[in-house]
């Protein structure tokens, strides 16, 4: 199987410390929203604004878990506090 082909079943990234490739852990917007406690719409807004990088697979949008964690840490994006009215 040729993994360099555009229709390859996995997306790979190069590790900085070695020459091996590791698969990206891509999740759906719904899964990402549950993980960080935000709505999928909020994540779509961040993608549109260019602050959160996403991958398009056909009509589907997937987010790299590590990229999402960096976005949450960098933007200080956190779920709303309990009792905030939202």
Nearest partner of 68 among 23, 21, 22, 33, judged by Cα: 33
Residues 77, 38: contact at Cβ < 8 Å? yes
Would you state the pLDDT for residue 41?
A: 94
> Which residues have a Cβ under 8 Å from the Cβ of 24 and sit 6 or more positions away?
10, 11, 12, 13, 55, 64, 66
Which is more confident, 15 or 43? 43
Instruction: Encode pLDDT of 57-78 as tens digits.
Output: 888 999 998 888 888 888 766 5
- Residues 6+ positions from 72 with CB-CB distance below 8 Å: 36, 78
Question: Is the pTM here over 0.75, yes or no?
Answer: no
Assign residue 70 a region (left: φ > 0; alpha: ψ between -120 and 50; beta: otherwise).
alpha
| pLDDT tens figures, 22-62 | 677 899 999 999 988 889 999 999 999 888 989 998 889 99
Domains and CATH numbers, the chain: 25-75 (1.10.1660.10)
């Amino acid at each position: 199987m040729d993994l360099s082909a555009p229709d390859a079943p996995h997306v790979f990234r190069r590790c900085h410390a070695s020459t091996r490739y590791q698969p990206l852990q891509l999740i759906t917007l719904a899964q990402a929203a549950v993980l960080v406690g935000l709505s999928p719409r909020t994540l779509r807004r961040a993608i549109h604004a260019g602050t959160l990088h996403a991958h398009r697979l056909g009509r589907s949008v997937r987010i790299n878990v590590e990229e999402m964690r960096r976005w949450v840490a960098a933007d200080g994006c956190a779920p709303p506090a309990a009792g905030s009215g939202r």
